[in-house]
Structure 1
Amino acid sequence: MKNTYILLYFLLKPSKITLVILMYYKKLIKKLMLEAVTKINIKSFFSILCSKLTIKLSKLMSKGGTNFPGTVALKLDKNVLKTLTKNYKVILVTGTNGKTTTTSMIYNLLKESGLDVITNASGANMITGITACFVSNYSFKNSKKQRYAVIEVDEANLKFFTEHSVPEIITITNLFRDQLDRYGEVYTTLNKILEGVKKVPNSTLILNGDESLLGKLDLPNKTLFYGFGATDDMNSSIDVNADAKFCKFCNTPYKYEFVTYNHLGKYFCTECGYKRPNLDFAVTSIKEKTTSGSYISINDTDLYVSQAGTYNIYNALCAYSIAKELNINDDIILKSFEKQQSSFGRQEAIDIEGKKVKVILVKNPAGYDEAINTLILDKNKVDLAFLLNDKYADGTDVSWIWDVKFEKLLQLDTDRILVSGERLFDMAIRLKIAGFEENKFALCNDFEKLLSEIKKCNSDTIYILATYTAMTGFRQFISSKGYANKIW
């Protein structure tokens, strides 16, 4: 047993205190081994144990620990996910935009219905983060209780999960250009997802029917589609910068009965006859859209989506579809949607000395344009902040900002334009070209400066549009200042 402690010490290595902790838990480890021997193999046991210790140490040292514990587990046992997910019915959420919000909506629906459910709420959606989520919720006690797991998974990491576990449901939200340096164009993203889906023919697929890339996938899986019925405020022309404009079978430009946003809508090909599939779940009316949410009907059931924008209607529609597939009744769905709160950085409202600061994650032209379409509904005086980074999680190629319609924001009543992030000068140039007056700009080299400028704003509402690492960095910074709860 002594050799085991030494092995764990050299594996984790954060400090000499690790060895002390392991020796302290010596009796507990022996007890756990005896309990686990009838449940899992020794390799999985040590993998999970080391990962759990890593989580505890990370918390003690305030290191977060959303991915590294999973790295430890997978390094010791590459098949550990098979053990970890054994008693779970897993719902996987993937796609370009809307993963975190949709995952949160589904999770809350299942909780509201009384089901025992876990989720990777931090948004750590790589296979290491997902593994860490299951490890943190794993018990060595020989329990056979059935649980649910609602898991957000990165498009390229889906295949690593389905290699070891068969999910109950896989849902794909949409496919847009995103992180061009990592994914390339939309067909590359689609192929990465399909590589994972093809490993699990018994999983149910719940797909966005308005996404032309997701029709006729030629898969054996049970497949259900959700999408929009025609509503009054939609047009039939697709934007020149839209992503999947050409038929995936014959390359003819699609025609549309209506477009919801970007290339999503009721599409059809005049050449080969490919068209949107029949919908199992549909938005049948949109009664009102505001900067706070939308009043809609799905399959003629009236409900309120407490997050603004067409993209959040899609997220709610996806969650509704999964709830109905799981036989959750409408009363529970309505109650859950009414209680739904924004995930961190997804239209999250933060009070900074009496000012409402709304943080909105933006990471590609499609999502950015939809965020802008939501902001311009606000007829009050507002100020704007733009945060642009170019780290791996943001995409190192920031040329995509030239495809965003920043010009629409000129119709807002705005006095201050705050710009920050690693690529603040790229963003400032783009905004100046869009037509914003130079005397409104404040360039902020760090978050201290940004916070100072926010406090100087005369408007009661400041919208912050930020790429992923800029959003998480700013979120952690204001948490350290006491303006928001810590996430990690």
Structure 2
Amino acid sequence: MKLSKVLFKGGTNFPGKIALKLDPHILKTIAADYEVILVTGTNGKTTTTSMIYSIIKDSNRLVITNNTGANMYTGIVACFISNFSFKKSSEKKIAVIEVDEANVKFVTDYISPSIITITNLFRDQLDRYGEVYTTLKKILEGVEKTTSSTLILNGDESLLGNLNLKNPIEYYGFATKVNENKIVDINADAKFCTICKAPYEYNFITYNHLGDFYCSKCGYKRPALTYSINKILELSTSGSTVHINNNEYYINQPGTYNIYNALCAYSVAKVLGIPDKIIEHSLKTVASSFGRQETLTIEGKEVKIILVKNPAGYDEAVNTINLDTRKINLALLLNDNYADGKDVSWIWDVNFERLTSLNINKIMISGIRLYDMAIRLKVAGFEADSFLLCNHDEDLLNQIKSCDGEIVYILATYTAMIDLRKFLYAKGYIDKIW
């Protein structure tokens, strides 16, 4: 494992590939001593996994996780291999495992998780997953193999409220509104009732199609919530102060989507019996996962890297940036590698228009599809003459170094984020790649 990290600049999948060649059923053996918690869904998997891991670790329990985001089957196998010991331990061990939606069924062939949690279902990598209903089907293929697993599901996700499953289910969601919006956006996902196909109505919408939904035609509505956001006290670019089940918590990650991530982590922690004081401390202090609201300092400037990969997540990043009243700089990186999705037409569903009212100093554009992004921003209302097209990470870094203003927001798709982090690591601006 250590050698592969040196040779392959991370080694998060390679050991798993080798192990599976030697023994295709190895996961059953190496995961046998663990109580496993699976985290899946379209957005928020890595951050939610990190939050759950931190809470369990703070409770002084033995816990492992695939914190590099290697969530394919080979990466999960590699995670268990790197933590495997031939010495038997009597102490109970927990594994918090992020898993790609299409890979749940491979994991549950060999593991019966104690908990499976699903964060949300949005359009993502259309060339790989198709629409949200296809994504749900892929997840359920894995869930149906393990009926003893407790499901902790996002109740505000309309696709998750009407499942014909034998598993025990608990729901989390918002019991209070974030804004005054009750009308679902034309580009939102899952707008129609899963039972009668009529359009949903909402008491309130949190973002995209998530919220307190109901169908006035057949009566289907959001399920009862066990864990809920009762009050929102403050939203800022640093974090959020909220009431969860009527107790106050500070979440050390900004944006509505991170409130959902924290609520999911809270729900898992409560099922595990972890005290509120530990959850409160952990949510207040948990660090950003790599590339997810990760903050760096470059030449004295605050630089925040935000992973963006689909319209729902991008819009939430835009909404968070809109809370910033400072003079800001934007860097937008768009790639179309396999891990990003080859189809980049989704950028036309992102509300870039909301950014035009901000106090923006520089707009830097980079990535394989930088010209597609430039066209989208021009249509959004930005002056094309102000765009700084950066063909290489070195060009982008030089532009960042010469920025005025107090902060640089880097909005990058997955492989663009990974490549940039490797480059910044080589330059000494990041301590570790993984």
Same fold (TM over 0.5): yes
The equivalent of 1:151 in structure 2 is 97
Q: What pairs up with 1:353-368 in 2 under 5 angstroms? A: 353-368=299-314
Matched to 1:319, the amino acid is A
Q: Which amino acid aligns with 2:132?
A: V
Which of 71, 79, 82 aligns to 1:133? It is: 79
Aligned partners of 1:390 and 1:398 also within 8 Å: yes
Matched, 1:166 2:112: yes
SS at match of 1:282: strand
Cα deviation code 1:124-172 (max 9, x no counterpart): 0000000000000001224444200000000000000000010010000
Match of 1:23 in 2: none
User: Which SS does the other structure have where 1:70 is aligned?
Assistant: helix
Q: Aligned in 2, Cα 1:362/1:232: closer, same or farther, shift over 3 Å?
A: closer
Contact 2:126–2:341 under 8 Å retained in 1: yes
Q: What's the CA shift for 1:437?
A: 1.3
Aligned pair 1:460/2:406, yes or no? yes
Shift in Å, 1:439: 2.6
Q: What SS class does the counterpart of residue 272 from structure 1 fall into?
A: coil
* 1:415 equivalent in structure 2: 361
Q: Note the C-alpha offset of 1:60.
A: 4.2
Structure 1 residue 440 corresponds to structure 2 residue 386: yes
1:247 to 2:193 alignment: yes
**Does 1:287 find its partner at 2:233?**
yes
- Tell me how far apart the structure 2 counterparts of residues 59 and 239 of structure 1 sit (CA, whole Å): 44
CA contact (8 A) 1:354 1:460 kept: no
Contact 2:155 2:173 in 1 (8 A): yes
Structure 1 57/101 Cα, relative in aligned 2: closer, same or farther at 3 Å? same
Deviation of 1:371 after TM superposition, in Å, equals 0.5
Counterpart of 1:267 in structure 2: which amino acid? F
Quote the Cα distance in structure 2 between the aligned partners of 1:387 and 1:444: 9
Matching residue within 343, 348, 351 for 2:289:
343
Counterpart residue number, 1:484: 430
Inter-partner Cα distance in structure 2 for 1:291 and 1:437: 26
Query: Relative contact order, CA 8 A, sep 6+: which one is greater?
Result: 2
Distance 1:458 1:232 in 2: 33
Q: Which residue of 2 aligns with 1:428?
A: 374
* Residues 94-109 of structure 1 aligned to structure 2 (within 5 Å): 94-109=40-55
**Cα contact 1:87–1:145 (8 A) shared by 2:** no
Paired residue secondary structure (1:459): coil
Maintained 8 Å contact 1:87/1:144:
no
Describe the SS at the equivalent of 2:230: strand
Could you report, residue by residue, the CA deviation over 1:170-226 in whole angstroms, capped at 9, with x for unpaired residues? 000000000000000000000000000000000000000000000120111110000
SS of equivalent residue, structure 1 residue 432 = helix
Amino acid at match of 2:219: G
| Alpha-carbon offset, residue 272 of structure 1 | 1.3
Deviation, 1:441, is 0.8
Match of 2:24 in 1: 78
Q: In the alignment, is the contact (CA less than 8 A) between 1:227 and 1:281 conserved in 2?
A: yes
Q: Residue 33 of structure 2 aligns with which residue? A: 87
Instruction: Tell me the alpha carbon deviations over residues 231-278 of structure 1, each in whole angstroms, 9 at most, x when there is no partner.
Output: 362321111110000001111000111100000001111111111000
Q: Which amino acid aligns with 1:122?
A: T
Given residue 136 of structure 2, which amino acid in structure 1 is its aligned partner? Answer: L
Cα distance between partner residues in 2 of 1:225 and 1:195? 20
Maintained 8 Å contact 1:158/1:196: yes
Does 2:231 match 1:298? no
Q: What amino acid sits opposite 2:230 in the alignment?
A: T
> 2:143 & 2:262 partners in 1: Cα distance?
23
1:216 is the counterpart of 2:162: yes
One of 348, 352, 368 as aligned partner of 1:406:
352
Structure 2 counterpart of 1:374, one-letter code: T
Deviation at 1:230, TM superposition (A): 2.2
Deviation per CA, 1:388-445: give whole Å up to 9, x if none. Answer: 0001110000000000000000111012100000000000110111111123210000
* Structure 2: distance between partners of 1:59 and 1:118: 18
Percent identity, please. Answer: 64
Partner of 1:39: none
2:67 alignment counterpart:
121
User: Which amino acid is the alignment partner of residue 240 of structure 1?
Assistant: I
Q: Structure 2: where are the runs of 5+ without partners?
A: none
- The residue aligned with 1:41 is none
1:331, distance to aligned residue in structure 2 (A): 0.6
Q: C-alpha separation between the residues in 2 aligned to 1:428 and 1:457?
A: 19
| Match for residue 320 of structure 2 among 374, 384, 388 | 374
1:194 maps onto 2:140 in alignment = yes
Q: Which moved more, 1:74-83 or 1:179-188?
A: 74-83
Partner of 1:388: 334
Partner SS for 1:358: strand
Structure with greater helix percent: 1
- Partner of 2:394, secondary structure, is helix
Query: How big is the shift at 1:287?
Result: 0.6
Distance 2:23 2:221 in 1: 45
Whether 2:58 is the aligned partner of 1:112: answer yes
Larger Rg: 1
Q: Contact 2:228 / 2:244 at 8 angstroms: preserved in 1?
A: yes
- Where does residue 40 of structure 1 map in the other structure? none
SS at match of 2:431: coil
1:230 aligns with 2:162: no
**What is the TM-score with the length of structure 1 in the denominator?**
0.88
2:178 and 2:206 in contact (8 A); partners too:
no
Amino acid at match of 1:387: L
Distance 1:143 1:232, change over 3 A: closer
